[in-house]
Amino acid sequence: MAIGVVTPRGNVGAHVLRLLVQAGERPLALLRDPSLLRADLATYVDAAALDVWDGASVEEATRGLDALYWVSPTATDRDPLAAHALAAANVRAAVDANGIERVVFQSSVGAEKRHGVGEIDGLAAIEQELEQTSASVTHLRCGYFFTNLLMDAESIRDGVLATAFDISRPMPWVAPADIAEVATARLLSRRWNGCHVQAVHGPEDLSFRQVAHTLAVTLGHPVNAHQIGDDDVRSALRQQGMPAAQIEAIVMMAAGIREDFTPENPRTYATTTPTTLTSWAAEHLG
């Protein structure tokens, strides 16, 4: 089976690549610069250059694939929503041109809302484009990544977990390695067809208050959740030199989940994955 993996060096993609190799496959790693892939992986994987925002590149790199793990990366040099729209058009064209049978797409909780969730609106657009192809498609509606906490590691060490999300509202949190397990199982299975949504919710829903408490117990020092306003986020990102379109894409992700949002996919046996925040934090933040 020919399986392509986009962002094979990413939080999820790196695990997908390893799991496919361990399953006996020889996956194709798809990334902008194949020379960045670890040299020792050449024994186990092939690599090809792919720029998600270049249609010819996407079509060429995915030629001959039976299955594709698709990730639309965040653009840092343009409007993120426009970039996702371009990537959506490119992958749709490539899937149909190359007759790819199955696509597993790394989407997000909130994409079901379709509009008003910042950058997640771009993922929703990709869901809709993929559903128009001839391929069987599974959208992975992933919870909030544990790895997002690494961006706040210094603040957490100082005892503060700041967020624009509602700190009292529980939501799904998940380890990227667990997402990779679900993605790999879907890529390898031929038992499904048509369009599907597979939520990936982690072991339990947690509010930021609960996350802060878990971090405090695990790390052995006080950590308190602190809710900040959207304008505070805008100001901080503006000081970092971030363009206005990117700032709004980030701000509206939290605002869209915080306001008028009910998840489409309930937590079930099929959506629950095993890695706990306690075990992840002990390994990565301890």
pLDDT exceeds 90 at position 249: yes
Phi and psi at 84, nearest 5°, equal -65, -40
- Residues 121-177 have pLDDT tens digits of 999 999 999 999 999 999 999 999 999 999 999 999 999 999 999 999 999 999 999
Mean pLDDT of the chain: 96
3-state secondary structure of 171: strand
Q: Is the pLDDT of residue 260 over 90?
A: no
> Who has greater pLDDT, 286 or 229?
229
Sign of the dihedral through C-alpha 139, 141, 146, 147 = positive
Cα separation, 286 vs 281, whole angstroms: 6
Quick one: DSSP state of residue 137?
Answer: E
Residue 74 contacts residue 108 (beta carbons within 8 Å): no
- Picking from 167, 179, 213, 164, the residue whose alpha carbon sits closest to that of residue 11 is 179
| Strand partners of residue 103 | 68, 137
3-class DSSP state for residue 261? coil
The percentage of residues in the chain with a pLDDT greater than 90, rounded to a whole number, is 95
Q: At the topology level of CATH, where does 3-146+173-202+260-274 sit?
A: Rossmann fold (3.40.50)
Please give the C-alpha separations between residue 82 and each of 56, 70, 75, in angstroms, as whole numbers: 18, 17, 9
Q: What is the pTM of this model?
A: 0.96
pLDDT in tens, 206-247: 999 999 999 999 999 999 999 999 999 999 999 999 999 999
Instruction: Report yes or no: 212 and 184 within 8 Å, Cβ to Cβ.
Output: no
